[in-house]
Amino acid sequence: MMRLSVLDTAVDVQTYHGAAELITSPAYLTGSRRVHAANVHMIMEGYDDPAFQQVIDTADLVVPDGVPLVWALKLQGQASASRVYGPALTLHVCAAAEKKGLPIGLYGGTPESLDAFQAFLHQRFPALEIACAISPPFRALSTEEDLAYTRQIKSSGARILFVGIGCPKQEWWMYRHRDQLPLVMLGVGAAFDFHSGKVKQAPPFLQRMGLEWLFRLAVEPKRLWKRYAKHNPRFAYLLARQLLRTRFLNAKREVKK
């Protein structure tokens, strides 16, 4: 598995099949593992916050969820790099878990979207066991609430936990529970809402063009405009600077040879 740096974040060159097989492999199921689906938002949150960068850097697998990250990998010579989109990866992992008889757990979403998502999964993967489904409140949890949810997850027997409470909250949650939950935790963002039909996904052609952010901005302008205005232009500038610097250093090494 090749890892390349995108603004100092190590991103794994992976495929849906490869990631799903790795996540459901015996090697991954022996302890606590964390899987991040990285996009521009996550990369820039890490760039701005060294503590969060440490959270990302200690993950077991970081897949390129965002198309701009795929472009960044390709521009560094990985022509075969492809997107591993969190909501789509969710379904690939569920398919592998159903085939291998691995119970899953769900943490996140509203009660309505979580119910709808479970109905979707039961229809799509009839033999898949959903060991637990928790919709935590949209506020800071008390210590007692957090302990109760943690015990519920652990006692459920789930081997893979999909965490859908948004970036960077879900990555912090997985990091802080890494010593308490001996299972694979996968941050999937809005996957529950997308697959339950609560939130519309961008058309495939916009996704391929790297313009999914524009569609989501049109759907949720009040919530997302500040994020995109803050992160997207800086990401483009910083990535261009990284690539130019890399090419300059490579050219300098060639001259020395």
Over pLDDT 70: what percentage of the chain? Answer: 96
**What pLDDT band is residue 187 in, cutting at 50, 70 and 90?**
very high
Helix 40-48 vs helix 50-57: crossing angle, to nearest 10: 130
What is this structure's pTM?
0.92
Given this model, what pLDDT does residue 242 score?
A: 93
User: What are the boundaries of each domain within the chain?
Assistant: 3-251
Q: How distant is the alpha carbon of residue 33 from its chain centre?
A: 13
Encode pLDDT of 53-77 as tens digits.
999 999 999 999 999 999 999 999 9
What mean pLDDT do residues 95-108 have? 98
Encode pLDDT of 214-230 as tens digits.
888 888 888 888 888 99
For residue 25, the tally of other CB atoms under 10 A from its CB is 13
Given this model, what pLDDT does residue 147 score?
A: 97
Given this model, what pLDDT does residue 201 score?
A: 80
- Structural tokens at position 166: 């948004």
CB 68 within 8 A of CB 235: yes
DSSP for residue 30: G
What mean pLDDT do residues 26-46 have? 95
Given this model, what pLDDT does residue 255 score?
A: 66
For residue 12, the tally of other CB atoms under 10 A from its CB is 23
Given this model, what pLDDT does residue 257 score?
A: 65
CB 162 within 8 A of CB 23: no
Given this model, what pLDDT does residue 94 score?
A: 98
Given this model, what pLDDT does residue 5 score?
A: 93
Query: Greater confidence, 249 or 166?
Result: 166
DSSP for residue 14: -
For residue 250, the tally of other CB atoms under 10 A from its CB is 10
Q: Is the pLDDT of residue 150 over 90?
A: yes
Given this model, what pLDDT does residue 254 score?
A: 66
Given this model, what pLDDT does residue 211 score?
A: 81
Query: Greater confidence, 183 or 202?
Result: 183
